[in-house]
Structure 1
């Protein structure tokens, strides 16, 4: 089926900031639209998100964050190259690579390239009368991912109420996706109630829907969430375990890890010991970005002493980059990777990174961003790619629940299995 039109336009993400949408029209008059997310805690090695800082219109109305240049790149450079071609994801992504051969997508902007790539994947799935999940897994049971969900948020997502970015839960004892989600909703709501009872600030909801409750130490925050798990008769470490997103690049300053709320400063070697003790003393099964994005030695040193059950998850370390993943595999720096399509800029290249990770025995977590949209394509990608885990944020905010609801829909309407990565 041929592409008849490609059109881009500016929309708003969940933080009220501009982002890119692209719509691909086909010969059967169907239109397939994709809206791309944007991160707040971004790694230095991510593909380039093109914004209009410096132009008069952008500065006056959007604080420099508008995306008119990225939209124009789609409408004037990508669209003419695609109209009239048969819809196929590999054709679309190859054409984008010809226009902009850089892996950073600096010529067009990764927000432009991903919007078209995603719209193309949705359009090709439609042309084959498949859902996006089925497009990537045409036969057999779909594998619904284990949810990793924010309870407490801090860092760049919640005005530094915690030194780290998130305390999350993994309901690995659940037998189905719907059961897992119900446990998470209960834990999150109890955390809000107990936070209020303790006189803590709970009116602040973070970018991803987690609770912005202040704690002086990471240990105190972990213990609070453990108490909420136990409040429903669930067993920490058996039914539900903790996952931490340290986002340590955010507080790595002048060669030191500076925990401002805790009023502590650590050298790299000292912070390896700190993280080692934290994992030993709390029911933590996954830890993300415990060290800064270019502190490779600390990653490698910790990986050599980390308990075998621990998921050592790289986000800023890898930024969904094939070359950085290959280095991490060679140096044994981690055993899992966060997959964020907008860190890469193309659907097919993002999938290639995920498949390389699986080939090396890495676990994979497909992840949303702090600035999300109402689109649910991330749930389909995580399922169709057999990622086994998905990280969307919390259970509040329609940009988050859109993904959870899509997974509930797949569970109800398709033949599925529930992933058990732990």
Structure 2
């Protein structure tokens, strides 16, 4: 009576074996096992099971995003920022692949802004971080499920579109609420004064026409989720591919792994001044230095640190311990009344260290012209009590730079609205230095849709930042566009940074000319300098680095419009133009 049972079990076992054979055959396991065992016998690996694991890893499914997670963290100023994590499904298990801490966006206010405005902006930043955490953990987490982290463009498009959709919904609700609110009744206007026209002061010329700054971009609360997620996914993509982050970024840009790399030159802040700093000097916000092209990063870092320490020591000896205090960027903030003081301090420190200013190291000035512009008077307050028109400011910079040939870069000397004077200044100085635009340009996402170097406004360099709604795809596209339009690219760190070194790998992958990192002080700044030195060592060992050179394109103003037929043309006055020395 036991036979039917045995027969049934035997049949079930046979069917099970058949299904197993089909399963393994469909997946090619027997063939691959045979190939592995044959090759392993001849390879004779030291770690047999490690060899087996490596072999089958090549046939594993492509890792996909299983979950993204965000939480609040703190930046170098103790303000809230985003920490973003990307989990991928790898070999049937969920693993944390990337954890990224974002920097905080730069303030859109000047450092001398009212405390009420600063408090309001800080509250907006806090609210934006809170909103971004909610978006990432909810809506965006669902959207990114099963996405390949190496497909950066698809991820960036998906996240950007979702944030735009949320922004449109938010604006639509606000519009409906505004329409429901009752409109206030019109107020009666007082009768006109008997005196009629308002009195005018005698002896005054025609009023100065001041072109106002363009309104700031209205940013949607939570839009920083775009930059934070894009950065974290980029890091996850590099981990999944098991390649250095800079190589992954370069491959995204070039569509293939590059054969060589050109390292960026570090641009480091030594001194800071401006309206919010002690002293009368307003027209210079930062005094920065850069090593000569080709100087190894490790050697340059030592010299940079020594220059900084020499100046700090001299300030301490002159005015005491308070002179060594640093700002958020780690820069020294001594009392200065004239730009020559900062330039002389740096050049004297170089001389003490047996370095030659203009040969071993160069100087870059961040003028931040928009911050020293007086809208009431329509003039630039170069020093407290000394105001200059845009034309006079051009002469001021030309005269100063002719006395300091070690300066090879000038950032935002004027507002963009003073286009004519900007172009005049370019004509006078760009044969020997870079005219760099920072505040005068929009963020990369907007700049991608705008014209660069139009006839009436040109630069030879553009400073880009990775923050807020900027994605990795945006900054790759923008960087290439900037170069194609005859500009060099400067990638800039923010005022409120974190120890995260993503910006360094980004600079190497994009092959930018300069990397602006702040001062050689404070951990979040030094971490970036150390990472650049580490990448240089890796690339030098592989012998895939190329030499960098400086070329200064001469920028000329557009030709005057041709006179109409019969119109008299006045002869132009001769320019008293000095010939600058070429590098």
TM-score, normalized by the shorter chain, greater than 0.5: yes
1:253-264 matches, cutoff 5 A: 253-254=374-375, 255-261=378-384, 263-264=385-386
Unaligned runs of 5+ in 1: 45-52
Cα distance in 2 for residues equivalent to 1:156 and 1:121: 39
Alignment correspondent of 1:204: 325
Per the alignment, residue 395 of structure 2 pairs with: 273
Q: Which is further off, 157-166 or 190-199?
A: 157-166
Matching of residues 19-38 of structure 1 within 5 Å:
19-28=81-90, 29-38=95-104
State yes or no: 1:113 paired with 2:226: yes
Indicate yes or no: 2:279 matched with 1:154.
no
1:129 to 226, 242, 245: 242
1:380 aligns with 2:509: no
Residue in 2 that maps onto 1:73: 135
Does residue 5 (structure 1) correspond to residue 67 (structure 2)? The answer is yes
Q: 1:157 to 1:95 in 2, by over 3 A?
A: farther
User: How many residue pairs align between the two structures?
Assistant: 410
> Do the aligned residues in 2 keep the contact of 1:321 with 1:344 (CA within 8 Å)?
no
Query: Could you tell me how far 1:375 is from its partner in structure 2?
Result: 0.3
Shift of 1:84: 2.1
1:215 aligned counterpart, secondary structure: coil
Q: Is the 1:174–1:239 contact (alpha carbons within 8 Å) kept by the matching residues of 2?
A: no
Instruction: State how far apart, in whole Å, the 2-side matches of 1:31 and 1:159 are.
Output: 46
For residues 123 and 131 of structure 1, do their structure 2 counterparts lie closer, same or farther at Cα, with a shift above 3 Å needed?
same
User: So what's the TM-score if we normalise by structure 1?
Assistant: 0.89
Deviates more, 1:181-190 or 1:341-350: 341-350
* Contact preservation (8 Å) 1:17, 1:65: no
Structure 1 stretch displaced more, 377-386 or 127-136: 127-136
Further displaced range: 67-76 or 360-369: 67-76
Provide the residue aligned with 1:181 in structure 2. Answer: 301
Residue correspondence of structure 1 range 343-362 to structure 2 within 5 A: 345-362=470-487
CA separation of 1:206 and 1:166: change in aligned 2, threshold 3 A: same
Q: Name which of 515, 527, 534 aligns with 1:409.
A: 534
Q: CA 1:71/1:63 → structure 2, altered by over 3 Å: closer, same or farther?
A: closer
- In structure 2, do the counterparts of structure 1 residues 159 and 2 end up closer, same or farther at CA, with 3 Å as the change threshold? farther
Spell out, residue by residue over 1:141-174, the C-alpha distance to the aligned partner (whole angstroms, 9 max, x if none): 3322111111101237857785222101111155
Q: Whole-Å Cα distance in 1 between the matches of residues 511 and 354 of structure 2?
A: 31
Contact 1:36 1:111 in 2 (8 A): no
User: Residue 342 of structure 1: SS of its match in structure 2?
Assistant: coil
Bigger radius of gyration among the two: 2
Q: Are the structure 2 counterparts of residues 323 and 94 from structure 1 closer, same or farther at C-alpha, using a change threshold of 3 Å? A: closer
Deviation at 1:293, TM superposition (A): 4.6
Query: Residues 216-267 of structure 1, C-alpha deviation per residue, up to 9 Å, x if partnerless?
Result: 1112111111111111111111111110111121121212212344x31111
Deviation at 1:359, TM superposition (A): 0.9
Q: State yes or no: 1:303 paired with 2:437.
A: no
Check 1:41–1:235 CA distance in 2 against 1; reply closer, same or farther (3 A cut): farther
Distance 1:15 1:230 in 2: 34
- Hey, what does 2:336 align to over in structure 1? 215
Partner of 1:42: 108
Q: CA deviation at 1:412?
A: 2.0
Aligned equivalents of 1:303 and 1:256: distance in 2? Answer: 19
SS of the aligned residue for 2:545 comes to: strand
Please report the RMSD computed on the Cα atoms of aligned residues, expressed in angstroms. Answer: 2.8
Structure 1 residues 35-44 or 137-146, which shifts more? 35-44
The offset of 1:310, in angstroms, is 0.8
Conservation of the 8 A alpha-carbon contact between 1:7 and 1:75: yes
**Aligned residue number for residue 516 of structure 2:** 391
Matched, 1:241 2:362: yes
**1:142 aligned counterpart, secondary structure:** coil
Higher relative contact order (CA 8 A, sep 6+): 1
Q: 2:411: which partner in 1?
A: 288
Change (3 A) 1:322 1:297: farther
> Which runs of structure 1 show a deviation greater than 3 angstroms over 4 or more consecutive aligned residues?
39-44, 62-66, 100-110, 155-162, 293-298, 319-328
Partner Cα separation in structure 2 for residue 298 and residue 323 of structure 1: 25
Q: Aligned partners of 1:338, 1:344: CA distance in 2, in Å?
A: 16
Q: 1:16 to 1:407 in 2, by over 3 A?
A: same
1: CA distance, partners of 2:127 / 2:410: 31
Q: TM-score, normalised by structure 2?
A: 0.65
